[in-house]
Structure 1
């Protein structure tokens, strides 16, 4: 059974409530209809009910009526959620009037529903920028305890019989969000990627903190950052298998690890690669994806207290469908459901 088959099965067995705040967007509706038919999630659409129904009818979608539709202009809806946002942000100087205006924004409304335990996750970005999607999540849902940063991971599905990773699966992070993380932020990216490895990739993480040096083969402040981050990971999660600083070959090839990093707990069998900067992570995942015909699943946003995932504005319905499945599995992982 492939990765997505496993994720789909787990989502179906543990139905989660997923908000789609771009409720009238055609690709979103198409994906929602499929998710409803396959009983993979309880779908919540935000938007004007009449407009959603008209858009669904125009697309020939017959199952959208089974979704929960939340109208952001409904006074009862705003009366319920605006005070929650006010309490969250009053220390920042917002007024209750501001809170009502913000709660009427579908991106914020969806996050407020999650905050109030009326939903489990959100997927958006077909119409909205990444900045807008993340801003709502930061302000309302915030990050997990002990985590200050949100980062982006890719699950890399290598060809069959690949000697790398676990069953041909690798997790790359951060490839999408933080340009130049500090040592503390780099450690938090690693801790979040460990959760992604378990909840999405279905593997027990073996984490390599990557650099252009292995165990002191070079000296530079950028290497010092990786060494410090590795120690922070070990202190935060002593049971995690992690090592650094490691070059990529020492992380992935047991023979090289034996030579360059003897005694490494990773032992050349890393399945989670933590890159020292966004440029290295982004370049690496794209090179591997294109040159090695590897499927890259993501970006998966990690580090939030509840899952919110961002889409490309050029996405297809299939992308939204798969992102919802990923979001369901993140929500399941946060609840520790086996």
Structure 2
């Protein structure tokens, strides 16, 4: 069974309410029909009912039983506007401005998640990443103990030689260009949680560098060493080690030579890259050269799950990201 099949099964076991603020977008409407039929989540389409129903008719989607909410007509509109005003008044937002902002489908959907009227949100088919992250950072904010929002990819590698029978998590490959040591530690802890919740693995986290255990001296190495120390202090229950070169992290024979006393070296299943350049290059190398399935980017570190789509996404992509978001919501308090 592939990792996405496993995630679908997990999503079905405890159905969550997931908001799709791009409610009248064609792929999203078709995806909503399939998500409902497959029992992956209870989806909520945000937008004007007549527009959404017209789109459903155009694409041949049966959305009977799928909830539709028009922000302006919602009984929760005033409550959400007032709550948003309370959250942002220190930034100069007036109640009048708050009421205008909450008319926006993404802001309304994000307030649904904040007020626990929904469990998660997926957007990005027609909006930019900034359009998604801005309200999420303003309203939902980061989870306790998290200093940063980050991303990871779940990598499913066909030859199954490395990681957890071929399953690995790579972070951060999409969001933070040059994280500090503190931020790198948060990324490691968040990715470990993603591995547990989504993939059901016991994470073994390698903090990657071009040095292994002091083999090289440089300020870039110092950052990874410091990040490892911080992560161990914040999450002493996790198996985490660094700094490790990639081969020392995943190849047992190399680990025996370079880091013989490590509980992670040679068998890491979570790889934390020192910066975005390394992470982005790394996941694409494995995806292309090892013919790996790269699932993501998956957002992590928020107090409630929010995930981004590519504007070139397929209907299948939307379905899968909703399933991922639903499973993240199941594990948000773990």
| Large movers: runs of 4+ above 4 Å | none
Deviation at 1:101, TM superposition (A): 1.0
- Write the deviation string for residues 209-267 of structure 1: whole angstroms up to 9, x where unpaired: 00000011110000000000000011001110000000000000111011011101113
**1:91 alignment partner in structure 2:** 90
What SS does the corresponding residue of 1:73 show, helix, strand or coil? helix
Where does the alignment leave 5 or more consecutive residues of structure 1 unmatched?
none
How far did residue 201 of structure 1 move? 1.9
Residue number in structure 1 paired with 2:320: 322
2:60 maps to: 60
Q: Using the alignment, how far apart are the partners of 2:244 and 2:35 within structure 1? A: 42
Instruction: Using the TM superposition, give the Cα deviation of residue 75 of structure 1 relative to its aligned residue in structure 2, in angstroms.
Output: 6.0
For residues 262 and 75 of structure 1, do their structure 2 counterparts lie closer, same or farther at Cα, with a shift above 3 Å needed?
Answer: closer
Contact 2:123/2:308 (<8 A) preserved: yes
Aligned counterpart, 1:4: 4
Determine if the alignment matches structure 1 residue 186 to structure 2 residue 168: no
Verify the 8 A CA contact 2:241 2:265 in the aligned structure 1.
no
2:72 maps to 73
Pairing 1:1-338 to 2, within 5 Å after superposition: 1-62=1-62, 64-74=63-73, 76-160=75-159, 162-336=160-334
Deviation at residue 199 of structure 1 after TM alignment: 1.1
Paired positions, count: 334
Q: List alignment gaps of at least 5 residues for structure 2.
A: none
Question: What SS is found at the alignment partner of 1:34?
Answer: helix
Distance apart, 1:96 and its partner CA: 0.2
Give the whole-Å Cα distance in 2 for the aligned partners of 1:314 and 1:101. Answer: 29
Q: Is the 8 A contact 2:206 2:265 kept in 1?
A: no
Note the alpha carbon deviations across 1:296-325, whole angstroms, 9 max, x for none.
000000000000000000111000000000
Retained in 2: the 8 A contact 1:121–1:306? yes
| Contact map agreement 1:174 1:189 (CA 8 A) in 2 | yes
Counterpart CA distance in 2 for 1:310 and 1:194 is 20
Q: How far apart, in 2, do the equivalents of 1:134 and 1:208 lie? A: 28
With structure 2 as the length reference, what TM-score do the two structures score? 0.98
